[in-house]
């Protein structure tokens, strides 16, 4: 918890990917940092994305070359600093007769993408004939198919963990982190922002923290944070809602991700292998509703099912096959432009003319969080009038990648482990080199090797570990944003009792707390229901 007597160099509001990245970079560069979130780390938009670390092929159409170049550079950096979380992904883009983008347009886009990807590690694109395309993905609708492009990007299966590892690294470098603490008000003196007033969700009392610079990285909630102040900020965010559905393997499902133009509105959408399931999305709809209650709507489900079944007719997906769904709001810059797709995906670090020492983050993708953070921390040093040490986040490994050779670590861990192959894979995918710390927990108490979820291979030791060492505060944090068991086919409902029993036995939870935590998890699962 923040000490009211301390004045932090920087207070960051919002522990999504951008706030976490800023906190980490600022702490590494020697600033004193307080990071505050009204919920859990990574519990906002950063959990509701398509989970791609991509150059943004689509942005080429809108002439955003600088954004594509930056994104491709960042993709490369993330593949190196977080190889356990960010992995190469092969995508196939089929082209149909009468589509808005023909074969030549796609080919030109691919050539430009490769040119901008120069000196990067992922393979260049290949164009496929119709026959080659159908050999690659036999279940594709053959009618009108002209061919396809195959190209590479990257995927962060568990974006939640990418956010968390940034926060863990920030803490390693001295940052203070407070979760479940809502910022209610910006403290202002002589037109200068000088701190925050926040309410601790659990204790309820109002607290204060003083900071020289405040960064509002509240994602789609940025304007809400500003509203608490009378500085008359213009509206900054004009969010659009995007929804995904998740299904199990289906007839004709491919190992390659499919990126296809929707028949209904020409929007590109994805069918992506994800966590042994398929992630299908997304939609793009203006959103003015309650940011804490964003849910998929019936017509979005129809759209995603229809488009998937159209491009892969053997899938015959129905609502009954949807395991769960999720929706989020993109924190895009506010504009009156009617076309959602044309809103820039670039980010902006906005100073406030009437409120000195305050910056608000507008936009910003998972892919470019690191460069956004670098720019934001540069701006902080400039404002503080201090020389900035060099930014090193493009090469400093994240905590779960702390080894010179991740593949060698992976092999060695599996060789030494007495756990099942499924559990080894799970631990390495989720925690990277930190899996060794979990192995140490088991070494001290073998009963913690007990599997709590057969589907993922997750074990009891993880529950203990994430509460003790990863700042989990609730069972839902543990399930959805630490162990990732919450994304199994039951949203973790099959494992929640076992996880709570572990917490009771090893962390001393009362019967009452166990009941409440299980009920809270069940309540959070409602958010994932495809209505
Ligand atoms: C449907 C969809 C698909 C996407 N797909 C991709 C993709 O494939 N690749 C990609 O790179 N990007 C993608 N994005 C974009 C990306 O996910 C977001 O731009 C990014 O996660 C935003 O991060 P953030 O940290 O700014 O916001 P958030 O993750 O929303 O974090 C903001 C945090 O602020 C906290 N907060 C809010 N108000 C307060 C307050 N008063 N006090 C304290 N804390 C507060 C919230 O709890 C939240 O945790 C997608 C986005 C969406 C919605």
DSSP states of 111-129 as a string?
A: HHHHHHTTT-SSPPPEEEE
6 pLDDT more than 80: no
Q: How confident is the model at residue 5 (pLDDT cuts 50, 70, 90)?
A: low
Q: How far is the CA of 448 from the centre of ligand 1 (A)?
A: 34
Q: Whose CA is nearest to atom 25 of ligand 1?
A: 16
Q: Whose CA is nearest to atom 51 of ligand 1?
A: 49
Q: Whose CA is nearest to atom 14 of ligand 1?
A: 49
* Spatial separation of the C-alpha atoms in residues 26 and 28, rounded to whole Å: 6
Say if CB 439 and CB 450 are below 8 A apart.
no
Query: Greatest CA span in the chain, whole angstroms?
Result: 70
Q: What is the reported pLDDT for 64?
A: 87
Q: How far is the CA of 214 from the centre of ligand 1 (A)?
A: 18
Which ligand 1 atom sits nearest the alpha carbon of residue 36? 43
Question: In the predicted model, what is the mean pLDDT of residues 395-413?
Answer: 96
* Spatial separation of the C-alpha atoms in residues 498 and 462, rounded to whole Å: 12
Tokens for 183? 């910022």
Q: Whose CA is nearest to atom 4 of ligand 1?
A: 49
Q: What is the reported pLDDT for 101?
A: 85
310 pLDDT more than 80: yes
pTM over 0.95: yes
Q: Percent of the chain at pLDDT above 90? A: 86
Say if CB 514 and CB 522 are below 8 A apart.
no
Q: What is the reported pLDDT for 231?
A: 65
Eight-class DSSP state of 387: P
Which ligand 1 atom sits nearest the alpha carbon of residue 242? 1
> Does residue 239 have its Cβ closer than 6 Å to ligand 1?
no
> Does residue 56 have its Cβ closer than 6 Å to ligand 1?
no
96 pLDDT more than 60: yes
Q: How far is the CA of 16 from the centre of ligand 1 (A)?
A: 6
Q: How far is the CA of 43 from the centre of ligand 1 (A)?
A: 8
Its sign, for the CA torsion 132, 135, 137, 143, is positive
Contacts of 376 (CB under 8 A, 6+ apart): 18, 22, 25, 215, 217, 349, 359, 361
2 pLDDT more than 60: no
Of the candidate ranges 133-147, 349-363, 450-464, the one whose mean pLDDT is the lowest: 349-363
Q: How confident is the model at residue 410 (pLDDT cuts 50, 70, 90)?
A: very high
* Spatial separation of the C-alpha atoms in residues 153 and 58, rounded to whole Å: 13
Say if CB 95 and CB 105 are below 8 A apart.
no
Q: What is the reported pLDDT for 338?
A: 60
Q: How confident is the model at residue 423 (pLDDT cuts 50, 70, 90)?
A: very high
Question: In the predicted model, what is the mean pLDDT of residues 357-372?
Answer: 96
Q: How far is the CA of 46 from the centre of ligand 1 (A)?
A: 4
* Mutational test site, ligand 1, from 180, 285, 329, 366, max ligand atoms within 8 Å of CB: 366
Buried b vs exposed e over 105-139: b needs ≥16 C-beta within 10 Å? ebeebbeebbebbeebebeebebbebeebbebbeb
Q: Whose CA is nearest to atom 12 of ligand 1?
A: 365
Question: In the predicted model, what is the mean pLDDT of residues 386-391?
Answer: 96
Q: What is the reported pLDDT for 344?
A: 74
Of the candidate ranges 124-128, 200-204, 353-357, 379-383, the one whose mean pLDDT is the lowest: 200-204
CA angle centred on 525, ends 522 and 527, rounded to 5°: 135
| 249 exposure class (CB count in 10 Å sphere: 0-12, 13-18, 19+) | exposed
189 pLDDT more than 80: yes
Say if CB 246 and CB 274 are below 8 A apart.
yes
135 pLDDT more than 90: yes
* Spatial separation of the C-alpha atoms in residues 345 and 486, rounded to whole Å: 29
Of the candidate ranges 104-108, 284-288, 313-317, 340-344, the one whose mean pLDDT is the lowest: 340-344
Q: How confident is the model at residue 531 (pLDDT cuts 50, 70, 90)?
A: low
Contacts of 519 (CB under 8 A, 6+ apart): none
CA–CA distance from 286 to each of 96, 338, 343 (Å)?
Answer: 28, 9, 11
* CA-CA-CA-CA dihedral for 424, 156, 176, 19, to nearest 10: -170
- Domain 7-46+160-235+344-384 sits in CATH at 3.50.50.60
Question: In the predicted model, what is the mean pLDDT of residues 291-305?
Answer: 95
Q: Could you read off the pLDDT of 500-517 as tens digits, one per residue? A: 999 999 999 999 999 999
Q: How far is the CA of 216 from the centre of ligand 1 (A)?
A: 12
Question: Which of 143, 131, 103 is CA-nearest to residue 311?
Answer: 143
Q: What is the reported pLDDT for 408?
A: 96
Beta strands in 50-191 (DSSP E): 52-53, 86-96, 126-129, 145-156, 176-178, 181-189
Q: What is the reported pLDDT for 1?
A: 52
Say if CB 388 and CB 378 are below 8 A apart.
yes
Q: What is the reported pLDDT for 312?
A: 97
Higher pLDDT, 343 or 172: 172
Question: In the predicted model, what is the mean pLDDT of residues 78-96?
Answer: 97
Q: How far is the CA of 384 from the centre of ligand 1 (A)?
A: 27
Q: How far is the CA of 144 from the centre of ligand 1 (A)?
A: 38
**Cα 476 to the chain's mean position, in Å?**
17
Contacts of 343 (CB under 8 A, 6+ apart): 238, 240, 332, 333, 335, 337
Q: Whose CA is nearest to atom 16 of ligand 1?
A: 365
Q: Percent of the chain at pLDDT above 70? A: 97
Beta strands in 363-415 (DSSP E): none
204 pLDDT more than 90: no
Question: Which of 501, 416, 491 is CA-nearest to residue 452?
Answer: 501
491 pLDDT more than 60: yes
Domain 85-157+239-340 has CATH 3.40.50.1000: no
Q: How far is the CA of 10 from the centre of ligand 1 (A)?
A: 20
Q: What is the reported pLDDT for 59?
A: 85
* Spatial separation of the C-alpha atoms in residues 105 and 133, rounded to whole Å: 18
* Spatial separation of the C-alpha atoms in residues 381 and 377, rounded to whole Å: 6
Task: Give the ranges where 385-488 is alpha helix by DSSP (H).
Answer: 406-416, 421-431, 435-444, 460-469, 475-481
36 pLDDT more than 80: yes
156 pLDDT more than 90: yes
119 pLDDT more than 90: no
* Spatial separation of the C-alpha atoms in residues 3 and 22, rounded to whole Å: 21
> Does residue 273 have its Cβ closer than 6 Å to ligand 1?
no
What is the crossing angle of helices 421-431 and 406-416, to 10°? 150
> Does residue 225 have its Cβ closer than 6 Å to ligand 1?
yes
* CA-CA-CA-CA dihedral for 343, 348, 351, 353, to nearest 10: -30
What is the crossing angle of helices 460-469 and 435-444, to 10°? 110
Higher pLDDT, 82 or 1: 82
> Rounded to 5 degrees, what are φ and ψ at 96?
-115, 155
Long-range CB contact pairs, 101-105, < 8 A, 24+:
101/261, 102/146, 103/127, 103/146, 103/147
> Does residue 327 have its Cβ closer than 6 Å to ligand 1?
no
Q: In the predicted model, what is the mean pLDDT of the chain?
A: 94
Question: In the predicted model, what is the mean pLDDT of residues 372-392?
Answer: 97
Question: In the predicted model, what is the mean pLDDT of residues 31-41?
Answer: 98
Tokens for 174? 């001295």
Q: How far is the CA of 179 from the centre of ligand 1 (A)?
A: 16
């Amino acid at each position: 918890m923040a000490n009211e007597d301390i004045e932090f160099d920087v207070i960051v509001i919002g522990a999504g990917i951008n706030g976490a990245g800023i906190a980490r970079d600022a702490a590494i560069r020697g600033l004193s940092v307080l990071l505050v979130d009204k919920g859990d780390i990574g519990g906002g938009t950063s959990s509701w994305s398509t989970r791609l670390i991509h150059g943004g092929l689509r942005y080429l159409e809108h002439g955003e070359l600088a954004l594509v170049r930056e994104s491709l550079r960042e993709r490369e950096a993330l593949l190196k600093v977080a190889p356990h979380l960010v992995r190469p992904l092969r995508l196939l883009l089929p082209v149909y007769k009468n589509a808005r983008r023909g074969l030549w347009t796609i080919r030109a886009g691919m050539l430009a993408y490769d040119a901008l990807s120069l000196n990067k590690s992922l393979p260049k694109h290949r164009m496929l004939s119709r026959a080659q395309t159908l050999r690659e993905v036999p279940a594709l609708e053959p009618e009108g198919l002209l061919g396809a492009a195959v190209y590479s990007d990257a995927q962060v299966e568990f974006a939640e963990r990418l956010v968390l590892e940034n926060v863990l690294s920030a803490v390693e470098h001295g940052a203070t982190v407070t979760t479940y603490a809502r910022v209610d008000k910006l403290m202002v003196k002589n037109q200068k922002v000088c701190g925050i007033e926040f309410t601790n969700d659990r204790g309820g009392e109002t607290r204060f923290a003083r900071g020289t610079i405040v960064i509002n990285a509240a994602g789609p909630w940025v304007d809400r944070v500003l509203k608490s102040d009378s500085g008359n900020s213009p509206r900054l965010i004009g969010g659009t809602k995007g929804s995904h559905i998740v299904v199990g393997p289906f007839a004709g499902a491919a190992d390659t991700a499919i990126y296809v133009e929707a028949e209904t509105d020409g929007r590109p959408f994805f069918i992506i292998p994800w966590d042994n399931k398929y992630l299908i999305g997304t939609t793009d709809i203006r959103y003015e509703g309650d940011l804490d209650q964003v849910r998929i709507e019936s017509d979005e489900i129809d759209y995603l099912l229809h488009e998937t079944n159209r491009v892969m007719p053997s899938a015959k997906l129905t609502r009954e096959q949807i395991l769960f769904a999720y929706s989020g709001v993109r924190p895009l810059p506010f504009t009156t432009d009617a076309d959602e797709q044309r809103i820039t995906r670039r980010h902006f670090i906005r100073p406030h003319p009437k409120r000195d020492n305050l910056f608000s983050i507008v936009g910003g993708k998972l892919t470019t969080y690191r460069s956004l953070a670098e720019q934001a921390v540069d701006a902080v040093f400039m404002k503080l009038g201090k020389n900035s040490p060099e930014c090193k986040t493009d090469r400093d490994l994240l905590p779960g990648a702390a080894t010179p050779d991740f593949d060698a670590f992976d092999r060695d861990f599996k060789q030494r482990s007495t756990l099942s192959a499924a559990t080894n894979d799970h631990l390495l995918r989720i925690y990277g080199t930190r899996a060794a710390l979990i192995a140490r927990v088991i070494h001290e108490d073998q009963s913690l090797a007990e599997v709590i979820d057969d589907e993922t291979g997750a074990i009891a030791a993880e529950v203990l570990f994430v509460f003790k060492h990863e700042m989990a505060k609730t069972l839902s944090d543990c399930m959805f944003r630490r162990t990732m068991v919450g994304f199994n086919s039951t949203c973790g409902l099959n494992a929640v009792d076992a996880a709570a029993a572990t917490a009771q036995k090893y962390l001393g939870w009362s019967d009452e707390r166990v009941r409440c935590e299980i009920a809270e998890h069940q309540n959070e699962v409602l958010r994932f229901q495809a209505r």
